[in-house]
A and B are shown apart, each in its own frame.
Chain A
Amino acid sequence: MSQVLDFKPAAGTSADVLTIKDLKAYYINDMFGVRREVRAVDGISLTVRRNEVYGIAGESSSGKTSLIKTLAGAIRPPMQVVGGSVKFDFGGKHIDVYAEPRKMQAARWQNLSYIMQGSMSVLNPVRRIKHAFNDFAFRHMGLDRRAFRQRVESHLQKLGLDPNVLEAFPHQLSGGMRQRVTIALATVCEPEFIIADEPTTALDVLVQQDVLGLIKEVQGRLGSSIVFVTHDMSVHAAITDRLAIMYAGRLAEEGPTQAMFDNPQHPYTAHLIASLPRIGDVSTRKSLAGRPPSLANPPSGCRFHPRCPIAIDRCSKEVPEMLPSAIGGRVACFRAGEIAVK
């Protein structure tokens, strides 16, 4: 397990680590006589390949956090999966997350790990860092205590952390250090799949650079696949190989990152990219009209149509399918490719 995984898929295994098919996950609330269905994930299909960094972008209420939680099998009532499937392939080990929960539980941290948003409170405040490593990773490594300690310490050093940090309490570390520790924690078992949920939000720019570089380096060394969720488009540009744009619980577009930035096919993508400041560009930025739709009562047809600058009649009546796009990805728009980025 200490070798970098091979690029080429071994015989009998596909190159896709994660396959999501038509996933639907809703918050269903029945209280005081009112039933509400919040359709956070409403029919999403995507795949993540081996050794790739796959970005998921979208506004605050696009449902991307819910998607991530559903991916990791970390949903609690009132949220539940109402349709579709999430399947992993960890180098030959196939797991259907919702059909085989026990297998999934055993695979946690060893094959699938998580870097969480907000390093402030992801670690148990009343226990030292070393206990986090013991609780999370020890049972997967199959080493005795001393060897495990040594492995953890060398792992920390490779990430630029002093091994003494193991004896500290979380509140004694700075925000950047805590995030590094979280990354170290997530990678110590060398998992095939890592979910990074807004790991650089709430960090200042310099620390952000640092952390991004660290993630990139670790990914390169381990060959893991990373799903990187953030609303910050510049981070996606810096680190991801492919990028998916979520809007109101559905996918709007997906494709190779560079191509999407150069030539976005979906009007929403175009808007997101256009909103990034560019050096030397002094034109005023126009914001989109309207507000993000309510996931309990979404618009009919294409969910973006109330705010779309190029919407036509059809958009309010029919739901566009995810079809192959001109730049080698997929897009769900009746007028794909017709928008121009300034």
Chain B
Amino acid sequence: MFLPGSDRFGGRTRLFCSVQIGMYMNGFLIYVAKRFGQFVFVVVTGVTLAFLIAHFSPVDPVEQTLSLVTNFGATDPRSVEILRASLRELYGTEGSMISQYFVFWGRVIRGDFGPSLSAFPTPVMTIISRALPWTIGLLTLATIISWVIGNLLGAIAGYFRTSRSIKIVGLLVMALQPIPTYITGLTLLIIFGFLWPILPISGGAQLNLEPAASWGYISSVIQYGTLPALTLVLVGMGGWFVSMRSLVSNIVTDDFVVYSELAGVPSRTVFSKYVARNAMLPQVTGLALSLGNVFGGAVIVEFIFNYPGIGKLMVAGIYAGDYSLVLGVTTFSVIAVATAVFLIDILYPLIDPRVKLG
């Protein structure tokens, strides 16, 4: 997996960045530079992996497309050759593997994944950028809500151990955790789609509305996004609840918490400023680590609720045999997740003063 080219490329970029920024700036910028180096490393690895998988496939996309086209009737051999050549260029399958690899990188950086096959000749990037806001909106909202609620409930459960109501809430939340996303989603679909049909179960927004910053459109988006988001939130809360509760029950025996209780600091203050503030730190790291898995949930949820995000796009692309689209979405999601992790990483020192900068 570690081709000589990829290492040098990644390493050179990292070296370049840290030399560029140098030691003149303050520690924070050096920290950012280090994290950026990691970001680049991850992206390089992921893109390389995608490239390798795509190119070691037993299926040649060029021939596949050709056979689709020529199946429609007789085509003279010269046109087929021209088509083959232009397809080769399109898919970047000319030349040696190494040159293909660099051509691929060039395209990734330019954001050009070629035209989509099923929606020829629309560029893949255009299609992705149409679907992207839906998924980003849905995932960001759902992830943040489930993280906040899960952690809050977990912290309360860990600190106020004896309260009856939190024990019941905790059991409910934990019972949801092992249930697969599909089942939770389907259950919500049945409840709100058939038994008590108050929420829409298909689509991103009302079809006849123009996308605009109008209240009508926005409220429609919220309506349509409720069930998908709710599914993701219900599925995700459990994990945060359990880990936060365990963190908090450990922190509660830490010296500084016991000390503040001895000092008579009111429970509410101890809970928020001593316990929660400290327990939150590993959870933020956990959030960054969990982002790699969040896409999977999005795929299923978008499938169930017919939500126009890039998960649905990916699935549709696979059904249609749309090589450029699938490769484009994969590469893009690798970069998107790495970016999100990078952002969380550089925001982390703002909440934890102990992080060594520089």
Q: Are A and B in contact, CB atoms below 8 Å, in the complex?
A: yes
In the bound complex, CA of A300 to CA of B278 (Å): 46
Query: Of A122-130, A237-245, A276-284, which stretch is located at the interface?
Result: A122-130
Q: Is the CB of A135 within 8 A of B269?
A: yes
- List the B side residues contacting A125 at CB < 8 Å: 256, 278, 353-354
- List the A side residues contacting B354 at CB < 8 Å: 125-126, 169, 171
Q: Is the CB of B256 within 8 A of A121?
A: yes
Q: A135-B265, A135-B269, A169-B354 are in contact. Are A124 and B255 (CB under 8 A)?
A: no
In the bound complex, CA of A239 to CA of B256 (Å): 26
Whether a CB of chain B sits under 8 angstroms from the CB of A209 is: no
Choose among B262, B263, B265, B278 the residue that contacts A126 (Cβ–Cβ < 8 A). B278
Query: Of A11-19, A87-95, A110-118, A223-231, which stretch is located at the interface?
Result: A110-118
Whether a CB of chain B sits under 8 angstroms from the CB of A29 is: no
A-B contact count (CB 8 A): 64
Q: Is the CB of B262 within 8 A of A135?
A: no
Choose among A72, A109, A122 the residue that contacts B256 (Cβ–Cβ < 8 A). A122
Whether a CB of chain A sits under 8 angstroms from the CB of B126 is: no
8 contacts between A and B (CB under 8 A): A108-B263, A114-B259, A123-B259, A124-B260, A124-B278, A126-B277, A126-B281, A171-B354
Q: Is the CB of B262 within 8 A of A169?
A: no
Nearest-neighbour CB distance to chain B for A104, whole angstroms, equals 9
Most A C-beta atoms less than 10 A away, residue of B256, B258, B264, B277: B264
- List the A side residues contacting B265 at CB < 8 Å: 135-136
- List the B side residues contacting A123 at CB < 8 Å: 256, 259
In chain B between 260 and 298, which residues have their CB closer than 8 angstroms to a CB of chain A?
Answer: 260-265, 269, 273-274, 277-278, 281
What residues of chain B have their CB less than 8 Å away from a CB belonging to chain A?
Answer: 254-256, 258-265, 269, 273-274, 277-278, 281, 351-354
Task: Pick the 7 closest A-B CB pairs, nearest first.
Answer: A108-B264, A136-B263, A121-B255, A109-B263, A122-B259, A122-B255, A114-B262
Q: Is the CB of B258 within 8 A of A74?
A: yes
Most A C-beta atoms less than 10 A away, residue of B256, B260, B273, B351: B256
In the bound complex, CA of A114 to CA of B255 (Å): 12
Instruction: With CB as the reference atom, state the residue of chain A lying closest to B260.
Output: A135
Q: Is the CB of B263 within 8 A of A135?
A: yes
In the bound complex, CA of A122 to CA of B258 (Å): 8
Nearest-neighbour CB distance to chain B for A179, whole angstroms, equals 13
- List the B side residues contacting A174 at CB < 8 Å: none
Whether a CB of chain B sits under 8 angstroms from the CB of A106 is: yes
Whether a CB of chain B sits under 8 angstroms from the CB of A105 is: yes
Band of interface residues on A: 20 to 34
Instruction: With CB as the reference atom, state the residue of chain B lying closest to A104.
Output: B264
Q: A106-B264, A126-B278, A135-B269 are in contact. Are A116 and B255 (CB under 8 A)?
A: yes
Given contacts A121-B255, A171-B353, 7 further A-B contacts (CB under 8 A): A109-B263, A118-B255, A121-B256, A122-B256, A135-B263, A136-B263, A171-B354
Q: A121-B255, A126-B351 are in contact. Are A105 and B264 (CB under 8 A)?
A: yes
In the bound complex, CA of A72 to CA of B259 (Å): 11
- List the B side residues contacting A169 at CB < 8 Å: 353-354
In the bound complex, CA of A125 to CA of B261 (Å): 16
